[in-house]
Amino acid sequence: MNDSLHALLKRVDTPTVCNAIEVAQGKRGFDAFTRGTMQCSAPGASMVGYARTARIQAVNPPTEDPAIIKARRMAYYKYMADGPRPGVAVVQDLDVPNAIGAYWGEINTNVHKAFGLSGALTDGVMRDLGDLPDGFPVVTGSIGPSHGFVHVVNFDQPVRIHGMTVTPGALVHADRHGAVVIPDDVVPDLEAAIAQLFKSEKVVLHATKGKRITFAEFEDAWAAFEASRT
């Protein structure tokens, strides 16, 4: 991902990215996106980056030796601090659908932001909504008050977030609508695909937005819209 594409992806929303992937692929049917409604700490913000993945649990206390848990936690933090940038923390909560441990609060968001990550995507829980740092959106499954017995189970493995599989290093885009994994083979064409998408949408929006039109006028606009997409 070059700097120009990165800047563009920071400006657009996730539905735009989903549509642009289909433009680049020349067909519908792309399905590497989340299902269901997610929460976002910063509704107007998008995150984009290469996935740094992990799994956590919080309902029950860990049964391993505390020294093992501590060593894994610090190895996890080193893993999150390393790797390509831009990066996104993608953390699966193994307690879902009964997740209670808010891993993403004031402390962890500031730590991960300081590591240079662009945001966090999780099917788990966030809290401290009034104290989360600017510039680090969290897209999450739910909101709750407690961290429970939250602990890292593993990291640098494929994870699944709201029906979407994310492998380490995958390029992820997320906002208040949910998240999408951008296929590697689409990346070189994505900037042009977004430009084509905007051009096509402008045809029908120019004809309809804020206006009262007849069906005949709509037919003409829609024909021009479809022609612009081919």
pLDDT in tens, 203-225: 999 999 999 999 999 999 999 88
Enclosing H/E stretch for 217? helix 215-229
Q: Could you tell me if 172 and 217 lie in one domain? A: no
CATH at residue 79: 3.50.30.40
Domain count along the chain: 2
Query: pTM value?
Result: 0.92
Nearest to residue 74, comparing CAs of 106, 49, 99, 111?
111
Q: For 91-130, what is each residue's pLDDT tens digit? A: 999 999 999 999 999 999 999 999 999 999 999 999 999 9
Shared domain for 94 and 140, answered yes or no, is yes
Whose structure tokens read 């599989």?
Answer: 165
pLDDT at 229 over 80: no
Place of tokens 């993608």: 90
Do 115 and 198 lie in one domain? The reply is no
Q: Does 193 share its domain with 158?
A: no
Report the C-alpha gap between 178 and 67 in whole angstroms.
Answer: 36
Note whether residue 57 is domain-resident.
yes
Q: Residue 226's pLDDT band (boundaries 50, 70, 90)?
A: confident
| Confidence class for position 230, pLDDT limits 50, 70, 90 | low
Q: Indicate whether 196 and 176 sit together in one domain.
A: no
**Residue at 5 is within a domain:** no
Looking at the structure, tell me whether residues 172 and 149 fall in a common domain: yes
Q: How many CB atoms within 10 Å of residue 197?
A: 21
